[in-house]
Amino acid sequence: MSEAPVVEWVRCYEKLINFLEVNDKARKFSFQGESLKRFVDLREQFRRSFIKYVVGRELRKARYWVKALKKEVDEVVNTLGLEGVMFSKELKDFINDPPSHLRKKLFNYMYDLLRGKICLKDFERVGSAALRTSLKTNLRNLYQCWVFLSTLRSLSSFNAKIIYPEHGFLSLERSGKQRSGGIPPNCIVRLKGSKFLSFFLEAPRPIGWEDSTDLKRAWQLYVALRPDILVYGGKVFNIALLGKDPPIKRPDMIIECKELVDWYSRTREIRGPFAKPLTAEEWRSKWIEGLWDGLADVLGVKRTEASAGLKEKKALRLKDVQIVALYNSLYSPKCMVVVSRAKVPASIKSYLSDHGIEVLDEVGFRVERLSPLADLLLKIAKGNESQTFMEISGECVQCLKVILEELESAGISLSVDAVLESSLRYVLNRLDDYVAFLKKRRVHESAS
């Protein structure tokens, strides 16, 4: 980092402190009128200059990545006839305005600094870490989303159509989706020949639980290793297998997305599989003690203020390339593909190939580089194995045609079996009304 930016953000800090010493020695920050305007200007100058100092170059890269993702969202929506794409709250905020998102990460630290709770050196340390962590996490999630969306668009050459979710909004987050006790897909795609693919992002994830018995069964989902994308041939609506090891159905494909140039040389600490299971009572106690201070220790998340009763830590430190191989060994997919934004050395490709893992590298943000992945996905696509064929009258076919056309005009795209299933479930939920309708119809037909 050059000297000039350091001087700039420190200078902005000194201006802000001088203003506060004159106008707000008690640090109540209750300004009005011109004083409020001046304070906000100085505060934002300070935050902007610090962000530029810490991640200025990376932020320029982030803007390009955001532009690429937004372009892909538009392409996918138009190509697959979607209503829209929904991101997690965190990523959505970052995509909308990366600098604004990063400024929010400095909010608490900045006010601690202005109140004298931390010194300038400590602010630089914790503020820099917060910015780098946020930027790194969001860029990782951004590239994963780009790969997923681009993969879906690559399947359009095979007449791909998203049949789930039926409302046409593709959600790229998992928050809250497991509350019912299962792990549902992010989307199900129908391909030519009535074959299907079910996609799960960052699964397995924890599911809802009520007591210690439920938590004991669901515990593996909290500590399980979590690949980027799991793909299953056919229509799969729940992959959870509680009590099994691993606790999910065997995937047909795993897709790992690597956005960093040197991802294969990075190391990570794997702690989840070594964590001791908690009872519901211990869980809630730890949750109340400090939300994450106790709980995060069990789940492998480091905290600066760990609670006094932390237990002995157990961990396994692996290179990222070894973790990829571990995913393949643990979940035993029929095939696994690593999508790397940058070029991967031949030695790393050879190592992964020896473990049965294919590598698509130098992908960047070029969707055409994912065409081999689309070909592999076509091979694992399956029809609905539980499908039963039956003869229906021409009148029934005509009724289905009318319903499908009306749904299409309303912006709802469903397959024939989805219409039949939803119609039958609708009738089951209103069975008394349906019986009354049939009786009334029979009386009317008898009278005529």
Instruction: Give the residue among 226, 237, 241, 143 at the shortest CA–CA distance from 187.
Output: 237
Task: Give the containing element (helix H, strand E) for 308.
Answer: none
| Domain boundaries defined on the chain | 1-150, 174-275+314-380, 394-447
Query: Are 274 and 312 in contact, with CB atoms under 8 Å apart?
Result: no
Interatomic CA distance for residues 280 and 404, integer angstroms: 47
Q: CB atoms < 10 A from the CB of 23, how many?
A: 11
Burial class (CB in 10 A: 0-12, 13-18, 19+), 374: buried
When the candidates are 3.30.1460, 3.40.50, 3.40.1350, 3.30.70, the CATH number that belongs to 174-275+314-380 is 3.40.1350
Query: Are 314 and 270 in contact, with CB atoms under 8 Å apart?
Result: no
Q: Which two tokens stand for residue 54?
A: 């810490």
- Inter-axis angle of helices 107-114 and 120-154, nearest 10: 170
Q: Which two tokens stand for residue 15?
A: 């201006």
Interatomic CA distance for residues 291 and 403, integer angstroms: 50
Distance of CA 207 to the CA centre of its chain: 16
Q: Which two tokens stand for residue 385?
A: 């194995």
Residue 190 phi, psi dihedral angles, 5° rounding: -100, 130
Query: Using CA of residue 398, residue 400, residue 404, residue 407, what is the dihedral sign?
Result: positive
12, 17, 27, 36, 244 from 33: Cα distances, Å:
21, 19, 17, 5, 63
Burial class (CB in 10 A: 0-12, 13-18, 19+), 69: buried
Give, rounded to a whole angstrom, the gap between the first and last alpha carbons of the chain.
91
Which residues 6+ apart lie within 8 Å of 408 measured at CB?
A: none
Cis peptide bond prior to 345, omega within 30° of 0: no
Q: Which amino acid is at 120?
A: L
Q: CB atoms < 10 A from the CB of 344, how many?
A: 21
Region of 291 on the Ramachandran plot (φ > 0 left; ψ -120 to 50 alpha; else beta):
left
- Give SS3 for 149: helix
Instruction: Give the residue among 415, 412, 350, 407 at the shortest CA–CA distance from 383.
Output: 415
Which residues 6+ apart lie within 8 Å of 291 measured at CB?
A: none
Task: Give the containing element (helix H, strand E) for 89.
Answer: helix 89-96
DSSP one-letter code for 248: B
Which residues 6+ apart lie within 8 Å of 12 measured at CB?
A: 42, 45, 46, 49, 50
DSSP one-letter code for 6: H
Q: Give one DSSP letter per residue of 360-391, joined into a string.
A: E-S-TT-GGGGHHHHHHHHHH-B--TT-----
- Give SS3 for 29: coil
pLDDT in tens, 207-219: 444 444 544 445 4
Between the CA atoms of 3, 7, 9 and 13, what dihedral angle is there, to the nearest 10 degrees? 150
**195: Cα within 13 Å, side-chain hemisphere:** 15
What's the whole-model pTM score? 0.75
Interatomic CA distance for residues 54 and 127, integer angstroms: 9
Predicted pLDDT at 211: 44
119, 238, 297, 298, 299 from 303: Cα distances, Å:
20, 33, 8, 11, 11
Query: Are 258 and 323 in contact, with CB atoms under 8 Å apart?
Result: no
Interatomic CA distance for residues 114 and 54, integer angstroms: 19
Residue 169 phi, psi dihedral angles, 5° rounding: -100, 115
User: Which residues of the chain carry a pLDDT beneath 50?
Assistant: 1-2, 4-5, 178, 207-212, 214-217, 219, 274, 283, 287-301, 303-312, 389
Predicted pLDDT at 291: 39
Q: Which two tokens stand for residue 434?
A: 């349906």
Predicted pLDDT at 174: 65
